[in-house]
Amino acid sequence: MYWDSKLETINKEELEALQFKRLIKILKTVTKNVNFYKEKFKAVGISPGDIKTLADVKKLPFTTGEDLKATYPDGLLAIKKEDVVRLHTSSGTTGKPKAIFFSARDIDSAAELMARCFVMTGVTRSDVFQNMMTYGLFTGALVMHYGAEKLGVLVIPAGPGNSERQLTLMKDFKTTVVHITPSYALYFADFLEKKGISSQRYLSLKRAFIGAEPHTEETRQKIEKLLGIDAYNSYGLSEMNGPGVAFECIYKNGMHIWEDNFLVEIIGPATGEPLPEGEKGELVLTTLNREAMPLIRYRTRDITSIISEPCKCGRTHRRLTRIAGRTDDMLIVRGVNIFPQQIEKVLMSIPGVGKNYLIKLEGLDEMTIQAEFDLSVFDGQVEHLVQLQNQIVNKLNSEILIKPKVEILPPGSLAVSEGKAKRVIDNRTI
């Protein structure tokens, strides 16, 4: 089942022709209307006329998150301000945010891509969608909300937190699909367990769209098992419309990225040079259908790779592998490069580990992992918890090549955020 079968199954030659046509149009627009790009292209001696093929995109300079902050509030706007109908900002907590502008057509295009994503997971007009994300300057909730409405799905704009209210809405209106952070999904599963409620028996839930936080396959599997649902991985970022940039289909073998809207590159994070297809590196995206604020070769800082083999669903847009981490999230501990998701992968693969954890960095370079234990597996006896602790230490040592201190805590000991989970606290003195 497709939302737009012509575009979702477009052949490679037609797709590349469409991409090139849209790329040249975007380049002409930003060269004419955005001083930032006009000066940047002039500095490297390039103009839209020098781009003869899609491969020539590598001749263009990168755009970075720092560029968005430096041109704040509206230095990257490509249309008149009176033609802008929406402003979102990034969720950054320090310094200037990244301001992202939308025209009416941009909002409709974002909703259109989101509708594609809903349909390829099996959602239909008969579903009920409970949106448990934060509404406001964050793009995630509103863009997915609009996509669901475009499909004709009944939307419940529940927002985050208040588990009692979430449960009441689910029961009363027979919610079938939720949009939720992975950390809150685990917390909500624990909430249901404490109330003695089986989601399979008492609720109508079938699917969860999980995003806004990096998470591992092991976490997805834990959510699916605890709630008895299908959980779908999604990828998006405010700079590229928010959610709906890439999404899993029913086969869950990578996230289809909508290449009619985004030109995709994978580069070496240190070199900036293109990497061979299939090799893991930093994702770079160019908007091809953005009106208010086009971005050229935007460095997302997200680490992934491209899957080009055909998908059984029939969609021809290539797929991204699960985001392995962000270049700016990488921790360096005792000279070792570590992504927080490596730690999560280990923790979520061990049956005795519960639903919450925290990584703490203190002193000169000391790492402590705090993990709650699963009361259904462990009875809390000291000797059993010591065994679990040793198992975690040994598995982490194999994965990240250092032995952190591990603290095993009772369920509910660690704070749960209603928004994005804070998994790392870095209080090092070095």
Are 95 and 196 contained in the same domain? yes
Q: Are strands 128-131 and 86-89 parallel, antiparallel or unpaired?
A: unpaired
DSSP state of 274: B
pTM beyond cutoff 0.95: no
Are 89 and 117 contained in the same domain? yes
Are 312 and 358 contained in the same domain? no
Are 318 and 337 contained in the same domain? no
Are 355 and 302 contained in the same domain? no
Contact between 234 and 206 (Cβ < 8 Å): no
Rounded to whole angstroms, the maximal C-alpha distance in the chain is 72
Are 304 and 349 contained in the same domain? no
End-of-domain residue from the set 283, 304, 328: 328
Cα 253 to Cα 166: distance, rounded to the nearest angstrom? 30
Are 79 and 187 contained in the same domain? yes
Residue 371 has a pLDDT of: 93
End-of-domain residue from the set 277, 298, 328: 328
Residue 375 has a pLDDT of: 78
Residue 380 has a pLDDT of: 66
> Residue 15 in 3-state DSSP?
helix
Are 395 and 419 contained in the same domain? yes
If one counts the domains in the chain, the total is 2
Torsion of CA 235, 243, 124, 85, to 10 degrees: -160
End-of-domain residue from the set 328, 351, 381: 328
Cα 179 to Cα 130: distance, rounded to the nearest angstrom? 7
pLDDT digits (tens), the chain, 430 positions: 899 999 999 999 999 999 999 999 999 999 999 999 999 999 999 999 999 999 999 999 999 999 999 999 999 999 999 999 999 998 554 568 899 999 999 999 999 999 999 999 999 999 999 999 999 998 999 999 999 999 999 999 999 989 999 999 999 999 999 999 999 999 999 999 999 999 999 999 999 999 888 889 999 999 999 999 999 999 999 999 899 999 999 999 999 999 999 999 999 999 999 999 999 999 999 999 999 999 999 999 999 999 999 999 999 999 999 998 888 788 888 888 888 888 998 999 998 898 899 999 998 889 999 999 987 776 667 888 888 999 999 999 999 888 999 999 998 899 877 667 788 999 887 6
Retrieve residue 186's tokens.
């685990």
**For the residues of 53-69, what is the DSSP string, one character each?**
SGGGGGGSPPB-HHHHH
Are 294 and 348 contained in the same domain? no
What is the domain-level CATH number for residue 285?
3.40.50.12780
Are 78 and 223 contained in the same domain? yes
> Residue 288 in 3-state DSSP?
coil
Count Cα neighbours of 183 within 13 Å in the Cβ-side half-sphere: 21
Are 64 and 138 contained in the same domain? yes
Are 309 and 353 contained in the same domain? no
- What residues make up the domain containing 370? 331-428
What is the domain-level CATH number for residue 419?
3.30.300.30
> Residue 84 in 3-state DSSP?
coil
Helices (H), 34-120: 35-43, 65-70, 104-120
